Every structure is written in C-alpha cells, then in structure tokens.
C-alpha cells in the first residue's frame, strides 16, 4: 500500500524563504526524476520559486509558513513510474487545482516509486493561507486519494498519522457560520452605506460610525470592526476604489447598483426592469435570477426585533454574491451551462498566458534592487501626502530610480500591469467558479430528489 504524509515548510531563523527554495530544488533534481515533473507553477526550480513568491507578494503574505511538502510513496513493485505520475497528477488537479501554485515530481532513484509535491502556503485566488483542521484527512483527503488509486487499479493510500493533512483556509473559513471573510463584509457594508451617503466625506463618516477604521492615502484601507487587518480598496475589485465609490454615490438611482439590493426589501422598480426582459432570457438565466430574488425576499415580513443580526449580515452578503453572479451571466450573455464552462476554460487559458508573460520578464531582474524598489514604493504609498515624510520618501525613491537600469524598470511596470489584469481575471474566475459549483450542487440535489421520487413510485 502507498503511504501519504505532509510536512510544512517554515521560515528560516533569519527570515526569508530559503527552506522553500531548497525543497523545490530537491524534488526537481534531474538525477532523481527522469523528467517526470508536472504542476502549474513551472518546471525549473527558479521559475517555480519565483511564481510562489510573486503570489505571496501580491497578497502581502511573505511571512510565516512558506509552503507544504506532500509525499506519496509506493512499495516496490506496486506502481510503475507512469502510474505514480498519473496518480500524483490527478491528485494535485483535484485537491489543489488552480487555487495553489504547485509542482510535483516522481523520484525513480530508489527501489520504490515515490512522488513529491510542493505547494504554496498562500492561495493565489483569494490570498487565504492553507490550514489544517482535525478530521480534514478523513473528510477531504482520503476520498480523493482512494478515488484516484481505484482509477488506476492501485490499492488505497495509507495516511501517516504522524503528519498532518490540511485544506485551504478559505474553505475552512466559509464553513464557519456567521464568519464570512473580511473582504465580503467590507464590500457588503460599502454597498449598504453608499445608498445613504451624500458624498465621500459623508460615506467615510458613516463607515466609521459602523466601527470601521479608515486610512486614506494613495489607497483607501478599510479595517472592519473585530478584524486586526483591513483591505485596500485596490484589492476589493471593480467598483470599490475611492473614485468609483464617489461615482456610484453621484449616480445613485440612475443605475442598478448593488446598494439597491442589500436591504431586507428589494427594489420593486429594479425587479420590474429585470423581468421585462424575461422573453429574451434562457431557462438557465431565469433560474439564476429566481434564486437571487428568493434570497432577497428572505427577511421580508419578519419581526425585525426577532431577527438575528448575523443572519441579516450573512443574507446581505449572499444577496451581494447572487447579484454579482446574475449581473455577470447577463452581461456576458451566458445562456447555458455549456457557455459557463466555456467561459471558465477561457479564463484559465487567459490566466496561464498572462503568467507566462510575467515569467518572461524575469531575465532583466535584479532581485535585491527590485526588493528595495518595492519597499520604497510601499513606504511612500503608505504615507499620506500631507505627511512631512512624504516629500522625503518621494525624493529617496526618485534618487533610487536613477540607479535602476531602464529595462528593469520597464519590466517591473509591465509586471505591475499584468498583475492588475491578473487580479481582474481571478476575480472573474471566482465568480464563474462559484456559479459552476452552485450549478453542480443544484443538479446533484435535483438528481437525488428525482431518484427518491422514483423509489417511492416503485414502493407503491
């Protein structure tokens, strides 16, 4: 029987990610792999390491655990190198998918075939960190490994109880009732406050009255009550930058914004506007809109003093998600499930193309100089322009820019542009992935219901 185990890759005593880099180099040693390498983060140690570090920098999570090392070992003669590769490849695609940067290899230098997987500690889609909860092995890992092994006619994998297995922090967080992510809370509250704001200053005042701490500079950072860290407006997606919020406040009532749907009663006018086009909508689109309106009317008619405020917040966030999904399928003319899956594949291809473009810019990089440049930029962006230190930092950055090779600065600017596009692509992917998962869940429920009805008829 094959053995599986997982160990974490920590931060060296002096800081940095040397342990992660060394682990990647070890599993990709060409003397051990015979070219049996795969993954979604590259094929060379330097490329994989840089992709993972880029993800950490993008989400500002360069500290703490750097990654995880997963090992799958087969007893001598139980699996060929091709079978071992297939098992590990399928496992990575199902368990890690596009959420985490990962690389894997099969080592053939010993009598028994064994594979190594190294994956990033930071989810590249939403910035959450990988997290283990007691019982995750039985609930999440074992079913996948058993299914993959059965597919290739191999015995089930055996878990090494001395090593822990985990799942993404995003999945863990979503399961906690009443504890949505800070990003969703911030967006829902922004949408709600916009509806009652007269201008930007009034908006800030009302957000602060809800318990928010707001820092204004090049970016606006929102720290919701109960959270130690906040979110920059640049990371909240389209419609949440300062200038975009100002425009939404100014255009209230002129367009159908998310702010019109976050109260317990939905806008009847908005309802009529959507349903006047039902003749041109497909069954797939109407079904999605129906779910949206059902969620919107959930709190209507209920005693406001008897309603749990956590339920109100959760419902508001759910409505916001459904509104986002309805708006997306209508705007992109997604009429069927096949259209949705085609869009999902197109986004994956676009993301891969952008990441390849970003990787091609590394030839002109000087790591230490880039690190200093980014540190200076961050210090400047975190300092309000009215602060006395702002001009000092600006002058320091300008002096540093004169020392940078022209090609390197241009490459960094191109990288930032690619990162901005990637952020939009990944935001779009999250919406599409959510719709796909909801459709699969709904179809599964309908299938089960149909089976139950058939069984009842047979009993009669």
pLDDT of residue 455: 60
Mean pLDDT, rounded, for 184-202: 84
User: Tokens representing 302?
Assistant: 């209920």
Provide mean pLDDT across the span 411-420: 81
CA separation, residue 82 to residues 63, 73, 143, 145, 184 (Å): 37, 14, 22, 17, 43
**DSSP secondary-structure letter at 157?**
P
pTM of the model: 0.42
pLDDT at residue number 121: 92
In the chain, where are the structural domains located? 3-175, 178-255, 265-332, 338-449
Assigned token pair, 451: 């089976």
Using alpha carbons, select from 262, 257, 292, 289 the residue that is nearest to residue 275: 289
* Nearest to 412, CA basis, from 380, 354, 368, 373: 373
Contact 24, 103 (CB under 8 A): yes
Are 98 and 428 contacting, i.e. CB atoms less than 8 angstroms apart? no
pLDDT digits (tens, 9 = 90+) for 113-125: 889 999 999 988 7
Residue 28: its pLDDT value, please? Answer: 92
Considering only residues 306 and 450, tell me which one the structure prediction assigns the higher pLDDT: 450
Element (H, E) at 128: none
Which residues partner with 129 through β-bridges? Answer: 122
What confidence tens digit (pLDDT) does each residue in 40-86 have? 888 889 889 988 998 888 787 888 889 998 888 888 888 888 888 98
In this prediction, residue 177 carries a pLDDT of 35
**pLDDT tens per residue, range 291-331:** 776 665 555 545 444 445 445 555 666 776 777 888 888 88
What CATH number should be reported for the domain whose range is 3-175?
3.30.930.30
């Amino acid at each position: 029987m094959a053995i599986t185990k997982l160990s974490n890759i920590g931060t060296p005593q002096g800081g940095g990610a040397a342990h992660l880099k060394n682990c990647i180099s070890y599993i990709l040693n060409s003397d051990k792999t015979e070219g049996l390498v795969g993954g979604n983060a590259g094929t060379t140690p330097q490329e994989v390491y840089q992709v993972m570090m880029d993800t950490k920098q993008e989400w500002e999570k360069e500290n703490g655990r750097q990654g995880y090392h997963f090992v799958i070992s087969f007893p001598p003669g139980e699996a060929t190198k091709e079978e071992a590769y297939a098992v590990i490849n399928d496992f990575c695609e199902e368990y890690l998918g596009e959420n985490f940067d990962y690389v894997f290899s099969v080592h053939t230098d010993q009598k028994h075939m064994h594979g190594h997987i190294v994956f990033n500690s930071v989810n590249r889609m939403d910035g959450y960190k990988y997290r283990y909860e007691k019982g995750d092995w039985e609930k999440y890992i074992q079913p996948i490994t058993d299914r993959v092994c059965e597919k290739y006619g191999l015995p089930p994998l055996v878990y090494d109880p001395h090593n822990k297995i985990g799942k993404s922090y995003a999945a863990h967080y979503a399961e906690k009732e009443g504890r949505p992510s800070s990003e969703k809370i911030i967006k829902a509250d922004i949408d709600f406050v916009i509806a009652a704001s007269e201008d930007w200053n009034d908006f800030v005042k009302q957000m602060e009255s809800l318990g928010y701490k707001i820092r204004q500079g090049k970016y606006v950072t929102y720290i919701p009550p109960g959270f130690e860290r906040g979110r920059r407006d640049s990371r909240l997606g389209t419609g949440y930058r300062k200038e975009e919020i100002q425009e939404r406040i100014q255009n209230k009532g002129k367009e159908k914004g998310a702010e019109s749907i976050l109260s317990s009663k939905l806008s009847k006018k908005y309802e009529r506007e959507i349903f006047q086009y039902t003749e041109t909508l497909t069954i797939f689109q109407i079904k999605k809109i129906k779910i949206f309106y059902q969620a919107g009317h959930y709190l209507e008619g209920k005693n406001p003093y008897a309603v749990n405020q956590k339920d109100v917040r959760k419902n508001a966030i759910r409505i916001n998600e459904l509104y986002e999904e309805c708006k997306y399928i209508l705007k992109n003319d997604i009429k069927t499930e096949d259209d949705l899956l085609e869009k999902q594949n197109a986004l994956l291809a676009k993301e891969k193309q952008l990441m390849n473009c970003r990787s091609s810019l590394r030839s002109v990089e000087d790591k230490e100089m880039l690190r200093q440049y980014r540190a200076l930029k961050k210090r400047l962006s975190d300092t309000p322009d009215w602060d006395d230190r702002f001009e000092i930092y600006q002058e320091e950055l300008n002096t540093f820019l004169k020392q940078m090779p022209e090609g390197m600065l241009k490459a960094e600017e191109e990288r930032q542009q690619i990162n901005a596009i990637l952020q939009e692509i990944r935001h779009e992917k999250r919406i599409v992935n959510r719709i796909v998962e909801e459709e699969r869940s709904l179809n599964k429920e309908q299938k089960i219901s149909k089976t139950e009805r058939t069984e009842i008829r047979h009993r009669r």
